[in-house]
Structure 1
Amino acid sequence: MSEKILPLHADTVGSYLRSDALKQARSDFAAGNISRQQLSLIEDQEITKLVQAQLDAGIQVVTDGEYRRSWWHIDFLENLEGIEGYIPEQAYQFKNVQVRPYNTRCCGKVAWNEQHPFLQHFKSLNRIVAGRAVVKFTIPSPNQLMYRPQWDTGIYANREDFAKDVQQAYKDAIAAFYAAGCRYLQIDDVYWGSLCNNHDKPEFAADKAQALANIQAILADKPKDMRITTHVCRGNYKSSYLLTGAYDPIADALFAQTAYDGYFLEYDDERSGGFEPLKHFARNPGRVVLGLISSKHPALEDKEAIKARIREAARYVPLERLCLSPQCGFASTEEGNIMTEAQQWEKVRLVEEIAREVWGED
């Protein structure tokens, strides 16, 4: 599998609806009815089932579904040195729903934690997959720590000094995942989506410059045989969203000046605008993964309509460099989106079927 060009023409963002057994186990652990060891055993069992379900759906890139996490990002961030989780006074307000209140903030000098639990999570997934597919592991972007409430806590004099330590922590993280055997890492990033949404704010230029500097820094020493991709997200909670806005304001920076191997872009509805910003990939050899299949709503998309949109995107990026995926994960938090597991797998199979018909076998 290692010879394949990643991302594949059929891929997924990474998270899946939590199984009933996993939900019960996490509830039992929170109530003190089972131990951490017992919870880990159940997580292993449910991830093993999930891996098989992905293989049965025909997808050749598998993840652990983020089954060991409550949040797509916080579980990783709060296990860095100098970052802690806390309950804020105000939670994020998504479209028609308020997110469960929890966030991260700086509480000390930031550094990579050599005992970070995600390393073991990756190793466990790798053992379960046992070479049957490409293993992808997901972590949040360093940009998720660039919002003022995350860094402006009195530890650092300014965001630039804070960002330098965050960048080094991520460089060390990438090296640690590589040493553990990871060859496909995905960095999920809502910050770029927030820039699309807030491009008219006075701080936009400085925020975009810092976001770009962070990504350029952490990818500078990327191992040549490690594929690192990104997913630009606009919020994903109980089938709702947080952000809107076309990619135009960030395209010159993210698409033209970063060296990711692949870019997972949400394009499931009008919130993301058109394909014209993809013209900034003219000198970027990375693959563009079109998130044309909604992970928020259960209705299956029309195959021919999706193929037509792929052809439209191919006006800006050569067809061979395009790929297809759901627009986001199915459960960026443990609550999950509003659909059944059966509907989720119908979506995954649809991605694989359309990709095979457009590009053939990977």
Structure 2
Amino acid sequence: MTPTPPPPFRADAVGSYLRPETVHTARAEHAAGTIDDRALASIEDRAILDLIRQQEDVGLEAVTDGEFRRAYWHFDFFAGLDGVTLGEGATGMDFQGQAIRPLAVEVTGRLGFPSDHPMLAHFAFLKANTDRVAKMTIPSPTVLHFRLAEDAVPADLYPDRDSLFDDLAAAYRSAVASFYAAGCRYLQFDDTAWAYLCSETELEKARARGMDTDTIQDAYVKLINDSIRDKPSDMVITTHVCRGNFRSSWIASGGYEPIAENLLAACDYDGYFLEYDSERAGGFEPLRFLPKGQKIVVLGLITTKSGTLETESSVAGRIAEAAEYASLDQLALSPQCGFASTEEGNLLTEDEQWAKIREVIQIAGNIWER
């Protein structure tokens, strides 16, 4: 029997899924104090078990817990770190036509990854309940740094925002080791920072926050590589570069050309989920920086922002275009983003969500198995 290749897979998914109504109701009741932590976890457990079966039944080789236990794709993870507090404040996240709750990360102590971080237990539940590859998604360390306000870091701990890079990387090395010890072999860093570095609008905002945008790419390459430098050889770490995903809205526009060489060639990731579902992502020319024979780019050609299905011919044509710049053997297919980066979810139905996943699997099979 031919061994299954390592992830990312030809047909893959970013990770988050629409929460069922049972989870929405339970989280509202928990917030109101009418059910306790144990009752909420029990309802989430049942919903996640259903989700695992749905992913398995549809044919995905890697499954996630859908991020059902989170309110946000990133804040819940950051809140579990040592030295981080969530507070109300300007997020700087300006979604097109949508208002998001004003949360912001504040550094209040030395950064670290605790041995009892809640998401270790979340992953353990996932892995214990599937025979497929259990995939864990966490925000990239760059995300924590990129949105920090100038006054969000105490000077007695870190003289400036950039001085926390060493501790941040060490915290992520501990996270990688901890997830590996829990059995994780497929870890994904979700990252909006790189996409925002493609947007002149977001660069202007970053400069207004006091960031040196001329040197930040080099700093982020080092931060990422320092964070994953001790990754075991049998663990795959990918990244998903996100342009913003909240109730089918978005933030950043701009092709990958300004970041492609640093992101694809200099960062030590095993693979990249890149959003290519709209003209805001530009062309495939930046894929020329993908090192030949190494790494996989998962093309996010199936949008999660609406329930309308793409045609197989149009998706196959775009894959052929991408293959002009990177080998077809180094390409794969997925939805462009998660279906619910926050608990509110995008503006499509669960049936439409699963139709999108089936489409990814069908098209990938027709292209790569052929």
Residue of structure 2 equivalent to 1:292: 301
Q: What per-residue deviation string (whole Å, max 9, x for no partner) do you get for residues 150-200 of structure 1?
A: 853433102332111000000010000001110000000000011111386
Structure 1 residue 181 corresponds to structure 2 residue 183:
yes
Residue of structure 2 equivalent to 1:255: 264
* Amino acid paired to 1:345: W
Residue of structure 2 equivalent to 1:192: 194
1:259·1:284 contact (CA, 8 Å) conserved in 2?
A: no
Residue of structure 2 equivalent to 1:50: 51
The alpha-carbon distance between structure 1 residues 271 and 89, as it changes in their structure 2 partners (threshold 3 A), is closer
* Amino acid paired to 2:365: R
The alpha-carbon distance between structure 1 residues 249 and 89, as it changes in their structure 2 partners (threshold 3 A), is closer
* Amino acid paired to 1:44: D
Give the alignment's TM-score, normalised by structure 2: 0.94
Residue of structure 1 equivalent to 2:173: 171
Q: CA deviation at 1:312?
A: 0.6
Query: Runs of 5+ in structure 2 lacking a partner?
Result: none
- Which residues in structure 2 correspond to 1:1-362 (within 5 Å)? 3-89=4-90, 92-129=93-130, 131=131, 133-147=132-146, 148-149=148-149, 151-154=152-155, 155-198=157-200, 201=204, 203-283=212-292, 285-360=294-369
Q: What per-residue deviation string (whole Å, max 9, x for no partner) do you get for residues 89-136 of structure 1?
A: 56622111121221211011111111100000000011111x1x1110
Counterpart Cα distance in 2 of 1:122 and 1:90 = 28
1:105·1:153 contact (CA, 8 Å) conserved in 2?
A: no
Structure 1 counterpart SS, 2:89: coil
The alpha-carbon distance between structure 1 residues 97 and 220, as it changes in their structure 2 partners (threshold 3 A), is same
The alpha-carbon distance between structure 1 residues 41 and 250, as it changes in their structure 2 partners (threshold 3 A), is same
Aligned residues: 359
Counterpart Cα distance in 2 of 1:185 and 1:90 = 26
1:138·1:185 contact (CA, 8 Å) conserved in 2?
A: yes
The alpha-carbon distance between structure 1 residues 210 and 235, as it changes in their structure 2 partners (threshold 3 A), is same
Counterpart Cα distance in 2 of 1:238 and 1:311 = 31
* Amino acid paired to 1:118: M
Counterpart Cα distance in 2 of 1:244 and 1:322 = 23
Counterpart Cα distance in 1 of 2:56 and 2:182 = 23
Structure 2 counterpart SS, 1:97: coil
Counterpart Cα distance in 1 of 2:260 and 2:25 = 43
Identity %: 44
Structure 1 counterpart SS, 2:334: strand
Q: What per-residue deviation string (whole Å, max 9, x for no partner) do you get for residues 284-334 of structure 1?
A: 710000000000111000100100000110111111110000000000000
The alpha-carbon distance between structure 1 residues 291 and 254, as it changes in their structure 2 partners (threshold 3 A), is same
2:91·2:104 contact (CA, 8 Å) conserved in 1?
A: no
Counterpart Cα distance in 2 of 1:136 and 1:115 = 19
* Amino acid paired to 2:256: Y
Counterpart Cα distance in 2 of 1:2 and 1:120 = 29
Structure 1 counterpart SS, 2:73: coil
The alpha-carbon distance between structure 1 residues 153 and 297, as it changes in their structure 2 partners (threshold 3 A), is farther
* Amino acid paired to 2:232: P
Q: What per-residue deviation string (whole Å, max 9, x for no partner) do you get for residues 37-84 of structure 1?
A: 111111110000001111122222110000000000000011100001
Structure 1 counterpart SS, 2:125: helix
1:193·1:232 contact (CA, 8 Å) conserved in 2?
A: yes
Structure 1 counterpart SS, 2:234: coil
* Amino acid paired to 1:251: A
Query: Runs of 5+ in structure 1 lacking a partner?
Result: none
Kindly report the root-mean-square deviation, in angstroms, between the aligned alpha carbons of the 2 structures: 1.6
The alpha-carbon distance between structure 1 residues 260 and 2, as it changes in their structure 2 partners (threshold 3 A), is farther
